Structure 1
Amino acid sequence: MKLLLLGATGRVGKEVAAQAIEDGHQVTLLVRSPEKLDNSFSGATVVHGDACVEKDLFRAVLGMDAVISALSTDGGSVLTDSTPLLIAAMHACAVKRVITIGTAGILDSRRHPGLLRYETPDSRRSSTRAAEEHRRVWELLSASGLDWTIVCPTYLPLGDRTGVYRVERDCLPLDGLSISVADTAQFAYKQLWDNSYIGARAGIAY
């Protein structure tokens, strides 16, 4: 498979890259700072560019079979700036499958029907800015016509790849408190071949 990975220098992105390279796929990384890549990325094709620049995204998406985006909010508007450009590039290059890493904050609330988790009165978030960025990505993908999945982990500590976790469509598994970076990456990577969560937010937790 020819896979484009965005956000490869982040924690989840690095794990996704490692799994895809290990399995022998043709992995392309679009990165602003190639000097941040260590030897674990050897075997991948590196494209120096910016996910918020239209021509860079088009160049990276061309010829791919699928895209995984592990871009973070980065304290700014990178998600909402890059997502419309990514959608346009995927349509122009006839690439349908996209998997992104979101947040459990944009999953449906169990205790407050009609609200997302980050909107509820009992949310512990001191700021909703990041969740609002992820919500906008969800809205854009929902209207895109692409085969999208948003992986929505809760608290993300470091930890081993166990392969043992719970997943629920559009909600966080009941009493889910955490999920490791490695298991989040594994689940996102597996969605390249699993159609169960196309057009959905996938809540993931132990």
Structure 2
Amino acid sequence: MNLLLLGATGRVGSGVLQKALNDGHQVHVLARHPEKLGAVHENLKIHAGDVTVEADLRRAMEDCEAVISALGTDGGSVLSDSMPLVIREMTNRGMKRLITIGTAGILESRTEAGLLRYQSNESRRKLTRAAEEHHRAYMAMKQSALQWTIVCPTYLPDGPATGIYRVEKGFLPVDGNQISTGDTADFTYKQLASTEFLQSRVGICY
């Protein structure tokens, strides 16, 4: 498969990149700072550019069949600015599969019906800017016709993939409090071959 990976220089994105290359996929990467990749592989095509620039995104998406985005919020609006561009370009090309990394804050609250976790007393975070940014990206996907999945980890320390974790559609599994970057990358990558969580947010934790 020809795959566009966004956020490949990040903690989760780098794990997804390695798994995709190991499985023989042709991976296109769009990165503002490609020198941070530190990877050379015959199946890796690196595009220097900005995901919020439509021409850069169009060039990187050429010949791709699916998109995985591990973009973070980076203190700004890159995530919500880029998502409509990604959706529009995928739609124009007839592409369907979009997998992204979100946050547990945009999952449904168990304690206050009708609210997301970051909007409710279930969240311990005082600052909601990052969750609001992920919420805007989620709403853009929800309004699209794409086959999207948002993987929503809770506290995300660095760590290897164990392959042992819990997931739940729409909610964070009960008493979940962390998940490693490695296992988040593992589950995210596996969604390429899965249709279980189409048009869904998925909570993941130990």
Partner SS for 2:12: helix
Does residue 105 in structure 1 map to residue 105 in structure 2? yes
Paired with 1:89 and 1:27, the residues of 2 have a C-alpha distance of: 18
Q: Distance in 2 between matches of 1:177 and 1:121?
A: 15
RMSD of aligned Cα (Å)? 0.9
Task: After superposition, give the CA deviation of every residue in 1:113-138 in whole Å (9 maximum; x if it has no partner).
Answer: 11111011342212101000101111
Distance, in Å, in 2 between the alignment partners of 1:71 and 1:14 is 11
Identical counterparts, % of pairs: 58
Q: For structure 2, list consecutive stretches of 5 or more residues without a partner in the other structure.
A: none
Q: TM-score, normalised by structure 2?
A: 0.97
Tell me the residue number matched to 2:196: 196
Runs of 4+ displaced beyond 4 Å: none
Indicate conservation of the 8 Å contact 1:148/1:200, yes or no.
yes
Aligned pairs (5 A) from 1:138-177: 138-177=138-177
The letter of the residue matching 1:146 is L
* Match of residue 58 from structure 1: 58
Letter in 2 for 1:142: K
8 Å CA contact retained: 1:61, 1:93: no
Q: Which amino acid aligns with 2:48?
A: H
Contact kept in structure 1, 2:109 and 2:122, CA below 8 Å? no
* 2:128 equivalent to 1:128: yes
Contact 2:110 2:122 in 1 (8 A): no
Q: Which amino acid aligns with 1:28?
A: H
Question: What is aligned with 1:85?
Answer: 85
Q: How does 1:1-80 map to 2 (within 5 A)?
A: 1-39=1-39, 41-43=40-42, 44-80=44-80
The aligned counterpart of 2:184 is: 184
Letter in 2 for 1:187: F
Mapped partners of 2:121, 2:148: distance in 1: 29
TM-score with structure 1 setting the length? 0.97
Letter in 2 for 1:108: E
Q: Work out the number of aligned pairs and report it.
A: 205
Contact 1:63 1:93 in 2 (8 A): no
C-alpha displacement at 1:92, in angstroms? 1.3
Partner Cα distance (1:68, 1:13) in 2 = 9
Structure 1: any 5+ residue segments left out of the alignment? none
Q: Does the CA-based 8 Å contact 1:47-1:60 persist in structure 2?
A: yes
Q: Distance in 2 between matches of 1:34 and 1:79?
A: 18
In the alignment, the residues of structure 1 paired with residue 34 and residue 158 of structure 2 have an alpha-carbon distance, to the nearest angstrom, of: 23
The more displaced of 2-11 and 53-62 is 53-62
Q: Distance in 1 between matches of 2:185 and 2:37?
A: 18
